[in-house]
Chain A
């Protein structure tokens, strides 16, 4: 039987109160959102917080809205909300592509975007989604708030820019009418983590990709946005050759490891092929050819 080690539990009543509590308790305390990453880690003693601050009552963190040329997503938005949101789908279909394949419907009823990004698991999907879209994260503390881009936010596996006395409250994504995005993932069975995933976002002027980004998941550290691929894509005419070049570069820019989900070679092959597919689809969507 797996049960977490003892801890004190408290329910937050507001963002301010939660942050003040976290600041007081320091690194002995953790926020608990959906709990679908934290509780499994606590059961295995990979995490042993002395205090849990439950943020599930913070209504002010549950929203997906359009404001000031951005889509703004409250940190407690659950996977299911992201999957169902028409607003999000209209602007960034990459979210629905990814969410359909994140965990399973029951886990998606609980897991949140804030928890996913803060967990920063190397196989986690939303970090790559947010990074390719050029998202920024709002991090609040007792003294104010700062807005960081995904590069600064996602430090590495299980590590983010969010400090002990801080909370991720919102994810912001700039909207643009000339964009397209898509996500491709291969998993062993329904509900499992990725063998490999690839996300792509592009912004187009006619047939020219004015800017494009690709991010991968489950293939090692620091793959949520591949700078080399972004450089390759910028200013190029969209074509099958370009997707293949980008795929080959993506496959060479990651560091997958052989494990029970597949060999290193297989994963590099997937990184290549899934990048081709996600780019092809992102471009088609930007050009209004595919919903």
Chain B
């Protein structure tokens, strides 16, 4: 079947099997491998992308269901070589070690900051509670998001 969607502001149209999951569509058909694929059971959150601005686990969404919608992947955070404050924050505050959880963490952070530019630590921890990091112990991720809240405005697509 034909699916059509906007990914990071670019129209994408592909013929896929109806059973294609959004995560595989993005990685294998579109070739954007920044979106990671981990547990495959909607638990780890590394596959999170934004659908119409809301974080969604793409391993538990059909590409067909996303057809007609606006998708933001981690590649969409940087525009014309300018990093999103969330990306800067992860660099400044050591928000990643192996980087496996990072794309999902950064997109959830972006969506959170779009809705609430000044979240408390508690609100940040709640927002990322559906995502697992095996390296950082979360504290540096929380600090990275706080850094982003304090610095600058986002440049990413969809803002």
The interface of chain A, by Cβ under 8 A from chain B, is 1-9, 32, 35-36, 39-40, 43, 52, 54, 56, 103-107, 109-110, 190-191
Please tell me which stretch of B57-65, B88-96, B143-151 contacts chain A, meaning at least 4 of its Cβ atoms lie within 8 angstroms of it.
Answer: B57-65
Q: Is B97 an interface residue (CB 8 A)?
A: no
Residue picked from A4, A8, A56, most chain B C-beta under 10 Å: A4
Q: How far is the CB of A59 from chain B (nearest CB, A)?
A: 14
CA distance A1 to B47 in the complex (A): 14
Residue picked from B17, B19, B108, B126, most chain A C-beta under 10 Å: B19
How many B residues are at the interface, by size bracket? 20 to 34
Our pick among A52, A109, A190 for the contact of B55 (Cβ within 8 Å) is: A109
Q: Do B43 and A191 have beta carbons less than 8 Å apart?
A: yes
The interface of chain B, by Cβ under 8 A from chain A, is 1, 17-21, 24, 40-43, 45, 48, 54-57, 60-62, 64-65, 108, 126-127, 129-131
Q: How far is the CB of B114 from chain A (nearest CB, A)?
A: 14
CA distance A43 to B41 in the complex (A): 9
Our pick among B17, B62, B130 for the contact of A107 (Cβ within 8 Å) is: B130
The 6 closest A-B pairs by CB, nearest first: A104-B130, A9-B18, A106-B130, A190-B129, A4-B19, A9-B64
Q: Of all chain A residues, which has the CB nearest B67?
A: A11
Q: How far is the CB of A53 from chain B (nearest CB, A)?
A: 12
Our pick among A7, A9, A191 for the contact of B130 (Cβ within 8 Å) is: A191
Using a Cβ cutoff of 8 Å, how many contacts connect chains A and B? 75
CA distance A110 to B48 in the complex (A): 12
CA distance A104 to B48 in the complex (A): 13
Chain B residues contacting A105 (CB-CB under 8 Å) are 55, 108, 126-127, 129-130
Chain A residues contacting B62 (CB-CB under 8 Å) are 9, 32, 35, 39, 52
Q: How far is the CB of B128 from chain A (nearest CB, A)?
A: 8
Q: Do A109 and B65 have beta carbons less than 8 Å apart?
A: no
From DSSP, what is the main secondary structure of chain A's interface residues? loop
CA distance A35 to B22 in the complex (A): 12
Q: How far is the CB of A266 from chain B (nearest CB, A)?
A: 23
Q: Of all chain A residues, which has the CB nearest B47?
A: A106
Q: Do A8 and B18 have beta carbons less than 8 Å apart?
A: yes
Q: How far is the CB of B80 from chain A (nearest CB, A)?
A: 29
Q: Do B1 and A9 have beta carbons less than 8 Å apart?
A: yes
Our pick among A7, A103, A110 for the contact of B61 (Cβ within 8 Å) is: A110
CA distance A129 to B91 in the complex (A): 44
Q: Do B45 and A106 have beta carbons less than 8 Å apart?
A: yes
Q: Do A110 and B18 have beta carbons less than 8 Å apart?
A: no
Q: Do A3 and B60 have beta carbons less than 8 Å apart?
A: no
Q: Do A54 and B65 have beta carbons less than 8 Å apart?
A: yes
Our pick among A1, A2, A5, A56 for the contact of B65 (Cβ within 8 Å) is: A56
CA distance A35 to B24 in the complex (A): 16
Q: Do B56 and A109 have beta carbons less than 8 Å apart?
A: yes
Q: How far is the CB of A44 from chain B (nearest CB, A)?
A: 9
Chain B residues contacting A2 (CB-CB under 8 Å) are 40-41
Chain B residues contacting A54 (CB-CB under 8 Å) are 64-65
Q: How far is the CB of B150 from chain A (nearest CB, A)?
A: 22
Q: How far is the CB of B22 from chain A (nearest CB, A)?
A: 10
